[in-house]
Amino acid sequence: MSSDWQQNEIVIVGAGLAGLFVALKLSPTPVTIVTSAPLGKGASSSWAQGGIAAAIEKGDTAFAHAMDTIAAGAGIVNAHIAHILTSQAASRVEDLLSYGTPFDRNLEGDLLLSQEAAHSARRVVRVKGDKAGWAIMKALISAVRAKSNIQVIEGYTAKKLATKNNAITGVHCWTGKGQHLFLRSRNVVLAAGGIGALYKITTNPKQANGEALAMAAKAGAYLADTEFVQFHPTAINADTDPAPLATEALRGDGATLINKNGTRFMANLNTDAELAPRDIVARAVFRENRDGRGAFLDCRDAIGADFETLFPSVYKKCRDAGIDPVTEPIPVAPAAHFHMGGIHTDAFGRTTLNGLWACGEVASSGAHGANRLASNSLLEAVVFAARVAEDLSQNTVFSTASKRNKKDQIEEIDRAKVILSNTHRKDIKEMRELMDHYVAIERNAQGLKHALARLTQMATKHRNHLTLSNMLTTARIITISALMREESRGGHYRTDFDHPRKEWAHRTYISLEQAEQAARDFLKPNRGSMQ
Ligand code: SIN
C-alpha cells in the first residue's frame, strides 16, 4: 500500500455543518478539511429536514428556549451549556443568512417560524418546508469553495489519531481502497457526525458509523453520556436503508399519529399528544408496531393537497416508497437518529486530549442531556463550531518539526486494515441487527449482556481491522454504558428499571479503559447489578 503525508496547522475531520462552519469561522487562517465523501454527500446535516431552533419571535426568549432544552433533556442537561446554546442561536442564524441560506420568510419579509415537539414557542427556521439541511449545506459549500485558505481533501476517511504525551500529533486517513494519508497536525477538530449507522434501522447515512468516537477513545479521550441514543418516531416504514424521515414539522403542522384502527394513540398518553418529547412518541410508535396495531402518520387533513409544495422532500420519499401522503396515512417506525452522547467536550469544544476539539453530533457537551429537543442539533453544530474556532484562533499550537518520520508511517500502514471483505460486511450486518434488537428503544440487562458478549467476540476477531474495530468499539461502549445506567431516563429506557432514579440524575463519563474493565465485569458469569 502506498502512503502520503502532509504538514497542516489545523485539520478538521468531517465536512458536515459543524466542520464547514469551523473552517469558515477560522478564515483566513489556513485549514485542511478531510472528508470521506465528496462535499455535501454523506453528511447527516444535508439530510436534516426540520431546521434550526432560535428564539427570534416577538415574546420568545433564549431563556425560554434554554428551559425547554433542559426539560426535554430529562434532568441531566448542563444548564450553562444550554444557555450558551440558546443565547447564541440568533447570531448564528444571522451568520447562516450571511452565507446565503434562504430561510423561509413571510410576506412582510420576516423569518417564518414553525412549531416542533416540546418547544413552548414557534421557533424553528426552515427552508422550503423540509429542505433546511440541504439548503444550509449548499450555501456553506459555496462559501467554502470560494475560500483559498480552506483545503478540502475528499475521499479519505480518518480512522486513527496519532498522539504523543497525551497530545495530538496527527490523523491517519485512508481511502476505501487502502491508500493512506497522514495529516500531521497538533490541532485537530473532530466533526465527523454520529453513530446512527451502527443500527440496522436509521435515518443516518452509512458514514455515521461511530468511527470518530472510537478514534478519540482509543487515543485516550473521555466520552460522555454514550448510552443516550435518540430514536426518531416517524421514519417512513418502507424497508429501506437508510430509513427516510417524515419530519416532526408535519406533526407541528397538525398531522396525527394513528394505528390501523384509526385510533389517535398519543392523545391518551401525553397532554402534548403528538408533540410530546421525542422519546415518549418514539416508544409509543414502537409499541403500536410491536403489538401489531401498526403506526401511521396521518397528514390527510392537516397538510392534504399542499403536501408536495409544503414538504417536497418527504413527499418524494413517500412516492418513492409507493405511498401517496395526500390520500393515505404514512406507515412509520422509530429509527436511530441522533446520539446525545459523544466525545466529552467543554463549552469551547475542547476534549480531554490536548490538541483535540470536537463539535457537532460527535461531541457531547451536555446540551442535550438524555433527550435532544427538536431542531437543536443543527443549532448545536453551528454554536459550538463557532466557539471551537474562537478557541482555536487563540490557542493553535504551531508545529516546529516539518520532517517526515518515515518509520512511524510505515509501521502504521502495515498494521492498518481498512478494506472491507464480504466477511466484514456480514459481521457489520450482524452488529447492526444486535444493536437494533438489544441496544435500542427498549433495553434490559439480559439483552444488553447478550449483545455485549457477541460484540466482544466480534471485536476480538476484528481487532486488527481498523474500520471494524472502530465500529465495534463504539457499539460496545454504547452497550456498556446502557448496562451501567440502571434506570430509565429520556432516550434510555430499561424495561427492567422502568423509572428514573435520583442516584442516576447525572451525566456519565467513560474512558476506553474503564469501558473495557466494565465489560469484563459484566461478562463474568452470575454477575449482579451495578448498585
Ligand atoms: C425532524 O425534522 O423531525 C428532525 C429534526 C431534528 O432531528 O431535530
The CATH number assigned to the domain holding 506 equals: 1.20.58.100
From first to last of the 531 residues of the chain, give the pLDDT tens digit: 456 777 788 999 999 999 999 999 999 999 999 999 999 887 788 888 889 999 999 999 999 999 999 999 999 999 999 999 999 999 999 999 999 999 999 989 999 998 888 899 999 999 998 899 999 999 999 999 999 999 999 999 999 999 999 999 999 999 988 899 999 999 999 999 999 999 999 999 999 999 999 999 999 999 999 999 999 999 999 999 999 999 999 998 999 999 999 999 999 999 999 999 899 999 999 999 999 999 999 999 999 999 999 999 999 999 999 999 999 999 999 999 999 999 999 999 999 999 999 999 999 999 999 999 999 999 999 999 999 999 999 987 776 655 666 555 555 666 668 889 999 999 999 999 999 999 999 999 999 999 999 999 999 999 999 999 999 999 999 999 999 999 999 999 999 999 999 999 999 999 999 999 999 999 998 765 544
The protein residue whose alpha carbon is closest to atom 4 in ligand 1 is 50
Nine-digit cell string for 53 = 431552533
Q: Is the CB of 470 under 6 A from ligand 1?
A: no
DSSP H helices in 12-61: 17-26, 44-47
DSSP H helices in 38-114: 44-47, 62-72, 79-87, 89-98
Rounded CA gap, 107 and 159, in Å? 48
In terms of pTM, does the model score above 0.85?
A: yes
Phi, psi at 184, each rounded to 5°: -80, 125
Which candidate in 92, 126, 184, 278 is catalytic?
278
Q: Is the residue at 404 inside a domain?
A: no
Total of domains in the chain: 3
Domain region containing 119 = 4-227+338-395
What is the domain-level CATH number for residue 318? 3.90.700.10
Rounded CA gap, 348 and 392, in Å? 9
Residues 200 and 246 in one domain: no
What is the domain-level CATH number for residue 222? 3.50.50.60
Nine-digit cell string for 98 = 450571511
Rounded CA gap, 475 and 439, in Å? 9
Q: Is the residue at 33 inside a domain?
A: yes
- 8 A C-beta contact, residue 188 and residue 395: no
Compute, in degrees rounded to 10, the torsion defined by CA atoms 468, 185, 136, 232: 30
Q: Is the residue at 401 inside a domain?
A: no
Residues 72 and 116 in one domain: yes
DSSP letter string over 268-311?
A: TT-TTGGGS-HHHHHHHHHHHHHTTS--EEE-TTTTGGGHHHH-
Active site residue 527: no
Place of cell 452470575: 526
- 8 A C-beta contact, residue 11 and residue 171: yes
In angstroms, the Cα distances linking 78 to 8, 73, 85, 104, 506 are: 34, 9, 11, 31, 9
For the CA of 234, the closest atom of ligand 1 is: 3
DSSP helix/strand/coil, 11: strand
Residues 13 and 73 in one domain: yes
Residues 352 and 483 in one domain: no
Q: Is the CB of 203 under 6 A from ligand 1?
A: no
Residues 378 and 460 in one domain: no
- The candidate with the shortest Cα–Cα distance to 36, out of 137, 145, 152, 143, is 152
